């Protein structure tokens, strides 16, 4: 994936990607940057943010890094403010952060865990977009990261799957609300071997329930609304 050979579909665009210091988020930030976007990467840990910025700069990408735990309101506002201070606008927001803190069945899941799942996997996307909305350009794009588990929540990660189902509805509702200036789409990846997925590969119960998922191609689904 050499920079010189890339199309430049995002030249002059400014993209924020949450939870983007490794895994899928980092991959998205890197690709947007290689296609010409100025990129803002973020995650909870300063060290991870710094390392991601160094890696992306080494690929010739214009990038800043901001610490942002997506369920922290002050840090969300700071993410938007620093983006505007540095680049003056926002063209792309990829809301990628998620937690999967429990293997309990839904009826056994503690209220505190339900709150955390809702907070990080659904509510933080809405609140981040509320802060970003005044700065979104005509022709801008929002992408929510759901999961194949959103289409078919598996017993070993059922509530996680349900929060990802909620993102499918959120995508449709926001697409209507933010049209015509902003497109809202959703990507539902299949299994991707990241740190997050180690939870799946290191847990036999989860492995067997996930392997029963019908991952016939395409293994990642895109809910394109507009």
**SS3 label, residue 141:** strand
Which CB sits closer to ligand NAP, 145 or 166? Answer: 145
Residue 145 pairs with which residues in a beta bridge?
Answer: 187
Q: Please state the separation of Cα 162 from the chain's center in Å.
A: 16
In the stretch 172-191, what mask flags binding to ligand NAP with x, by CB under 6 A? Answer: -----------------x-x
Nearer to ligand NAP, 18 or 141 (CB): 18
Q: Which stretch binds ligand NAP (CB under 6 A): 43-51, 81-89, 130-138, 176-184?
A: 43-51
**Minimum distance from CB of 8 to ligand NAP (Å)?**
25
Strand partners, 221: 188
What DSSP designation does 6 have? S
Q: By the 8 A CB rule, do 14 and 90 touch?
A: yes
For the chain, report the end-to-end CA distance as a whole number of angstroms.
28
Assess contact for 57 and 63: CB atoms under 8 A.
yes
Stretch that binds ligand NAP, among 6-14, 62-70, 79-87, 173-181 (CB under 6 A): 62-70
Nearer to ligand NAP, 14 or 97 (CB): 97
CA 153/CA 156 separation, integer angstroms:
9
In the annotation, is 160 catalytic?
yes
Which of 160, 175, 200, 209 is catalytic? The answer is: 160
Question: Which active-site residues does the annotation give?
Answer: 160
For ligand NAP, the binding residues (CB under 6 A) are 18-19, 21-25, 43-45, 48, 68-71, 96-98, 120, 145, 147, 189, 191-192, 194-197
């Amino acid at each position: 994936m050499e920079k010189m050979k890339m199309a430049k579909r995002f030249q002059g665009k400014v993209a924020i990607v949450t939870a983007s210091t490794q895994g899928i988020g980092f991959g998205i930030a890197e690709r947007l940057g290689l296609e010409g976007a100025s990129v803002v990467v973020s995650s909870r840990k300063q060290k991870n943010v710094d390392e991601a910025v160094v890696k992306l700069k080494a690929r010739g990408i214009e990038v800043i890094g901001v610490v942002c735990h997506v369920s922290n309101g002050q840090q969300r506002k700071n993410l938007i403010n620093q983006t505007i201070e540095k680049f003056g606008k926002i063209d792309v927001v990829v809301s990628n952060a998620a937690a999967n803190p429990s293997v309990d069945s839904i009826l056994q899941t503690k209220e505190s865990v339900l709150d955390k799942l809702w907070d990080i996997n659904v509510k933080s996307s809405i609140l981040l977009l509320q802060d970003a909305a005044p700065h979104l350009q005509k022709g801008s794009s929002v992408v929510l990261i759901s999961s194949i588990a959103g289409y078919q929540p598996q017993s070993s990660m059922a509530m996680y799957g349900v929060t990802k189902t909620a993102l499918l509805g959120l995508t449709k509702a926001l697409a209507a609300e933010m049209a015509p200036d902003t497109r809202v789409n959703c990507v539902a990846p299949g299994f991707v071997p990241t740190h997050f997925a180690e939870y799946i590969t290191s847990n036999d119960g989860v492995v067997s329930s996930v392997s029963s998922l019908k991952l016939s191609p395409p293994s990642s689904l895109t809910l394109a609304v507009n």
